[in-house]
């Protein structure tokens, strides 16, 4: 993968780019497992990497837009970020955007205010999907000290497309998880407890707390039965599973992603979340070269 933000070289900025790289690799890796069943079973049983190249999805494209915006503005300015996301959507609408995302981003690109587009879906309840959570790991790196500011910014980034508080809680949880991976040393249940403390009251928070009762020795089928695997593409069905996988493999990028993808479900998104978080703990040297080389480059075409 190439560095598309070469002028940003502070420690904070490098970690932000690292979170983007981890997200992209996880996303592209997980996307490969939407394939024929015999191939998936072989790859999983033998931990055999899918053949390159690996192509990322809307998860990476939206995360790239977020990082570009942070480097340009230093904070979430919702109108400007909505414009970046809508512009990138129009460049390639076939990158795996969900149905609700198609509607919202298309309407924003046509000039409709993002707040109107985001709040009218699902009979005015707004989306509680997992898209707000999958793109925020770089926020956790970008805000290195101020937790309350990080939580505020995670909410602001989510609101552009996800007006429902459940989705916003998922975004907060992942942003906090990424921050702790980058700047703290906790692992396992202690790490999950710290995330839960900062997550707003929600089903997502309740399931993160539930994950504390699930040891690493459990089969992945047991974990997905308790926490979900993103099959419903909801924050509460996605974020707890991703955080559980990260918590138990926070120092091993490859193992974290193999465990995550074995849950199947919305595997590009769960792997994007885990990749972005775990990359911040293991660093650039902890990401296997073969994984990075296999992943599609983030080129200048995704900058607005």
| DSSP sequence for the chain | ---S-TT--SHHHHHHHHHHHHHHHHHHHHHTTSS-HHHHHHHHHHTPPPPSPB---HHHHHHHHHHHHHHHHSS--HHHHHHHHHHHHHH-TTS---HHHHHHHHHHHTT--HHHHHHSTTTTT---BSHHHHT-HHHHHH--S-HHHHHHHHHHHHHTT--SHHHHHHHHHHHHHHHHHHH----HHHHHHHHHHHSPSSHHHHHHHHHTT--TTS-HHHHHHHH--STT-BHHHHHHHHHHHHHHTTT-HHHHHHHHHTT-SSHHHHHHHHHHHHHHHH-GGGS-HHHHHHBPP--GGG--
The pLDDT of residue 85: 97
Amino acid 9: pLDDT: 74
**pLDDT for position 5:** 60
pLDDT for the residue 11:
84
Ranges under pLDDT 50 in the chain: 2
Q: What would the pLDDT profile of 2-40 be if each residue is shown by its tens digit?
A: 455 666 678 889 999 999 999 999 999 999 999 877 889
| Answer CATH for 11-295 from 1.10.4080.10, 3.40.190.10, 3.30.300.30, 3.40.50.1970 | 1.10.4080.10
Q: What is the pLDDT of residue 134?
A: 97
> What's the confidence (pLDDT) of residue 304?
66
Domain ranges of the chain: 11-295
């Amino acid at each position: 993968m190439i560095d598309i933000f070469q002028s940003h070289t502070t420690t904070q900025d490098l970690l932000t780019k690292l979170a983007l790289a981890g997200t992209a690799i996880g996303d592209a890796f997980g996307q490969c497992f939407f394939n024929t069943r015999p191939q998936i079973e072989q790859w999983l049983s033998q931990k055999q990497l899918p053949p390159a190249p690996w192509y990322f999805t809307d998860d990476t494209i939206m995360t790239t837009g977020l990082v570009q915006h942070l480097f340009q503005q230093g904070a979430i300015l919702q109108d400007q970020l909505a414009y970046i996301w809508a512009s990138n959507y129009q460049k390639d609408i076939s990158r795996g955007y969900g149905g609700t995302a198609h509607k919202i981003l298309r309407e924003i690109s046509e000039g409709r205010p993002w707040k109107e587009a985001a709040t009218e879906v699902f009979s005015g309840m707004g989306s509680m999907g997992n898209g707000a959570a999958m793109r925020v790991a770089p926020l956790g790196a970008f805000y290195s000290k101020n937790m309350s500011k990080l939580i505020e910014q995670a909410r602001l980034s989510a609101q552009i497309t996800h007006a429902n508080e459940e989705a916003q809680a998922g975004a907060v949880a992942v942003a906090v998880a990424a921050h702790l991976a980058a700047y703290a040393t906790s692992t396992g249940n202690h790490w999950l407890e710290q995330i839960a403390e900062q997550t707003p009251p929600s089903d997502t928070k309740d399931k993160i707390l539930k994950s504390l009762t699930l040891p690493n020795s459990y089969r992945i089928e047991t974990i997905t039965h308790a926490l979900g695997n993103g099959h419903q593409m909801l924050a509460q069905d996605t974020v707890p599973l991703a955080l559980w996988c990260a918590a138990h493999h926070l120092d091993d990028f490859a193992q974290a992603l193999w465990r995550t993808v074995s849950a199947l479900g919305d595997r590009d998104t769960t792997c994007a979340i885990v990749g972005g978080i775990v990359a911040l703990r293991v660093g650039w040297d902890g990401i296997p070269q073969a994984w990075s080389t296999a992943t599609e480059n983030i080129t200048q075409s995704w900058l607005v």
